[in-house]
Amino acid sequence: MTEINVSDYKGVWVFAEQRQGKLMNVAIELLGEGRKIADGLKTDLTAVILGNGVKNLADELACYGADKVIYAESPLLENYTTDGYAYTISDLIRERKPEVFLIGATNIGRDLGPRISANIHTGLTADCTKLEVDEENHRLLQTRPAFGGNLMATIICPNHRPQMSTVRPGVMAKAKRDDSKKGQVEVVGTKVTEDQIRAKVTDVKTGIKHVVQLEEAKIIVSGGRGLGNPEGFKLIKELAEKLGGEVGASRATVDAGWIPQAHQVGQTGKTVHPELYIACGISGAIQHLAGMSDSKTIVAINKDKDAPIFGICDYGIVGDVYEIIPEIISAIDRVDDLAIV
């Protein structure tokens, strides 16, 4: 592998993911975190966006704190393809040499990040939940769960550039929008040809299936192993619907096949920050707490009065979820009836 001079690399880049002309929330989160890193390194923050006919999104990125925006525009980039996006961004990195490059750990980001890192011969730390900067050595300290979430590993990339991370959505605070901010938007093309894109997108269909958006939910009702069986999630879902919230779950219930992985909260699942988090039959393992402890109000329901979840909750109820949740639902119904009257 060819040695590089790391001092030739300057600037922090974030990949601003968009789908069908809509900017993904993780892009705004990355801009918020990227701003901190760029300030620590005393350098510029650049957003990189690919697409076709989405110049309005490029302009919007400047409002979220990007000093510069590189917008690669081409009909070949209108829809995400591994080859089209990976080749285009790899070319830009070789040409402009950023020091740090952050990508959201979405389905697209998890596909794109490894392809780029392989193309440009640098390391990639996947699914980071925390980023810090060693300002003296200009090293990015990339922290992620390891060994099934039983410990946290901090990883550095001392000899290659850029330092690349995919960052878990919902972990970082979003950048604040300021319409008075103006950034430099540069529109570029791509050297990618149609023949180089091996997988062609012929049509895009949006499914009608409900997509779990735990990271954006204001209210989450989560179930754990204390439910005893998968049927318990029917009760969890009923309470969540009454409150206008989403259904969450512990890793144990996902591993048991009681509920899909998209509902998992914790170090190896999603990190959430709702206004209200109701933990039902969840003991409070450290891996789960790491994913929801920043919730504004936490309510715990558990039969075990010594469960760790009671150590961090705002309100705790010791008892059987199958007795308590129906009472809560009944109380909500009574309030609704009074409101109608």
Do both 74 and 140 map to the same domain?
yes
- Confidence (pLDDT) at 149: 60
Do both 178 and 246 map to the same domain?
no
Q: Are 49 and 61 in contact (CB under 8 A)?
A: yes
- Confidence (pLDDT) at 341: 39
Do both 16 and 156 map to the same domain?
yes
Tell me the HSE value of 269 on the side-chain side, using a 13 A CA sphere. 29
* 181 inside domain: yes
Do both 112 and 260 map to the same domain?
no
Tell which residue, 294, 311, 293, has the closest CA to residue 302: 311
φ/ψ region of 140 (left if φ > 0, alpha if ψ in -120 to 50, else beta) reads: beta
Mean pLDDT score, 211-219 = 83
CATH number of the structural domain spanning residue 218: 3.40.50.1220
* 203 inside domain: no
Q: What is the average pLDDT score of the chain?
A: 89
* 124 inside domain: yes
List the 315-318 sheet strands across, edge first: 246-249, 219-223, 276-280, 297-302, 315-318
User: What digits encode the pLDDT tens for the residues 78-94?
Assistant: 999 999 999 999 999 99
Task: Report the alpha-carbon angle 165-169-173, nearest 5.
Answer: 95
Which one is predicted more confidently, 144 or 207? 144
User: What digits encode the pLDDT tens for the residues 265-277?
Assistant: 987 788 888 999 9
Structural domain harbouring 301: 214-340
Query: Binning pLDDT at 50, 70 and 90, where does residue 210 land?
Result: low
What's the whole-model pTM score? Answer: 0.76
Do both 227 and 169 map to the same domain?
no
Q: Is it the case that residue 2 has pLDDT exceeding 80?
A: no
* 142 inside domain: yes
Do both 172 and 249 map to the same domain?
no
Do both 42 and 184 map to the same domain?
yes
Q: Is it the case that residue 1 has pLDDT exceeding 60?
A: no
Mean pLDDT score, 292-304 = 92
- Confidence (pLDDT) at 150: 65
CATH number of the structural domain spanning residue 84: 3.40.50.620
Burial grade of 4 (CB within 10 A; 0-12, 13-18, 19 or more): middle
Instruction: Look at the chain and report how many structural domains it folds into.
Output: 2
Point out the least confidently predicted range of 14-18, 74-78, 94-98, 212-216. Answer: 212-216
User: What digits encode the pLDDT tens for the residues 10-47?
Assistant: 999 999 999 988 899 899 999 999 999 999 999 999 99
Do both 79 and 166 map to the same domain?
yes
Tell which residue, 238, 247, 251, has the closest CA to residue 219: 247
- Confidence (pLDDT) at 144: 86
Q: Round to whole Å and give the CA distance between 23 and 62.
A: 13
Do both 35 and 178 map to the same domain?
yes
Do both 253 and 312 map to the same domain?
yes
User: What digits encode the pLDDT tens for the residues 222-245?
Assistant: 999 999 999 999 999 999 999 999
User: What digits encode the pLDDT tens for the residues 97-148?
Assistant: 999 999 999 889 999 999 999 999 999 999 888 899 887 888 899 988 776 6
* 208 inside domain: no
* 160 inside domain: yes
For 206-233, give the secondary structure using H, E and C: CCCCCCCCHHHCCEEEEECHHHCCCCHH
Q: Round to whole Å and give the CA distance between 144 and 153.
A: 6
**Structural domain ending residue among the three candidates 196, 222, 245:** 196
* 80 inside domain: yes
* 322 inside domain: yes
Do both 133 and 223 map to the same domain?
no
Q: Are 61 and 183 in contact (CB under 8 A)?
A: yes
Q: Is it the case that residue 340 has pLDDT exceeding 50?
A: no
Q: Round to whole Å and give the CA distance between 232 and 225.
A: 10
Do both 117 and 234 map to the same domain?
no
Which residues touch 20 (CB under 8 Å, ≥6 apart)? Answer: 204
**Structural domain ending residue among the three candidates 196, 227, 242:** 196
User: What digits encode the pLDDT tens for the residues 325-335?
Assistant: 999 999 888 87
Q: Which two three-digit tokens encode residue 322?
A: 């199958």
